[in-house]
Structure 1
Amino acid sequence: MALQPAPYARQAGQDWLLACADTPAEIRSLWDGDELGPVPAGGHWMVAETSLARTMDALRRIDQPRRGPVLADVTTGITWWLLPPTLGEELNDVGTITVHPRGWVLRCPPVLYPVRGRMWLERPDGTGRFTDPVLLGAALGPGGAPRLPAEASQ
């Protein structure tokens, strides 16, 4: 599989994000004015919210190829993980994360650059790839990510 050059991948991610919006032209106009664009949860993804500190720990525990888009607001210390629209109860027992209902609006910057303190820690890549909610729950849960038994890692 050939890897796409970084600028192409970022543009593909931005095109995908716009395609997920109810009003892509309005969002593009907001972005042109350095404003955040509203994209509702549910149709293309669900949104799980947690702290920036917890997200940074989880990002260390989840291999990069297994991560989906993660948006951060560095001024408030909040992050949002975009998860599959088929999300069920996988994260119900993880007390450090809040899953927002369908229709909840996530105010997004463009993929290509930050706006008003919001930036993509993991950019959408245009493929619709998401973090597996079970993996995210394990990374954010009490013990962190699943670990191999000590004898298996030797």
Structure 2
Amino acid sequence: MTGVGMSPGSDWLARCSSSPEAVRRAWASEELAAIPAGHWAVVEANLMCSVDAMHALRRAGGNGPVLADSEAGLAWWLTPVDAVEYVVGTSQGLTVQPPAWKLLCPPVEYGYGGRCWMEKPDGTGKLTAPAALVAEFRSSSTTRAARQGRLPGR
């Protein structure tokens, strides 16, 4: 059952939890809801690097949901569960959270607690392809280093 005034994206997030009603209650109380990874993997990254990567991935039509925390300077990308195969060992500043890790998130409609959705879940289950994410972080890293007059690894 979709919550009153709840978007398809928020409804999808709630249904990714083992207790959708608990998620809806948390949001109704303006609390962040703890939704465990499992339906998807969570890839953590620096917020500003994520903003750069989002623009390029959006042009290519490759963005899935991305949650930002302005206070912590972090972003969390929702990707298919096989993300670890693509991310581990890349040294691009990306970390795959363990499968039982809980993403503390607001509903799609609005943010609070310093968190908001930079790319909102749309309810379809669309996720960011981890290979594209790694490639874009690699490209963005090289571009940033070139602007600063240095190359990565030097």
Range class of TM-score, shorter chain = 0.7 to 0.9
Residue 131 of structure 1 aligns with an amino acid whose one-letter code is T
Q: Which residue of 2 aligns with 1:66?
A: 62
Q: What secondary structure is seen at the aligned counterpart in 2 of 1:89? A: helix
Q: Which residue of 2 aligns with 1:82?
A: 78
Aligned positions, number: 135
Q: What secondary structure is seen at the aligned counterpart in 2 of 1:25? A: helix
Q: Which consecutive residues of structure 1, in runs of 5 or more, have no partner in the other structure?
A: 1-7, 146-154
Alpha-carbon distance between aligned partners in 2 of 1:88 and 1:17, rounded to the nearest angstrom: 21
Residue-by-residue CA offset, 1:63-82 (whole Å, 9 max, x unaligned): 25210000001111110000
CA RMSD of aligned residues (A): 1.7
Residue 71 of structure 2 aligns with an amino acid whose one-letter code is T
Residue-by-residue CA offset, 1:102-131 (whole Å, 9 max, x unaligned): 101111100111021110000000111111
1:125 is the counterpart of 2:122: yes
Alpha-carbon distance between aligned partners in 2 of 1:63 and 1:110, rounded to the nearest angstrom: 21
User: Normalising by structure 1, what TM-score?
Assistant: 0.82
1:61–1:144: 8 Å Cα contact kept in structure 2? Answer: no
Q: Which consecutive residues of structure 2, in runs of 5 or more, have no partner in the other structure?
A: 142-154
Q: Which residue of 1 aligns with 2:17?
A: 21
Match of 1:48 among 20, 23, 43: 43
Q: Which residue of 2 aligns with 1:35?
A: 31
Percentage of identical aligned residues: 41
1:93 is the counterpart of 2:76: no
User: Normalising by structure 2, what TM-score?
Assistant: 0.82
Q: What are the within-5 Å matches in structure 2 for residues 103-114 of structure 1?
A: 103-114=100-111
Q: CA deviation at 1:26?
A: 1.0
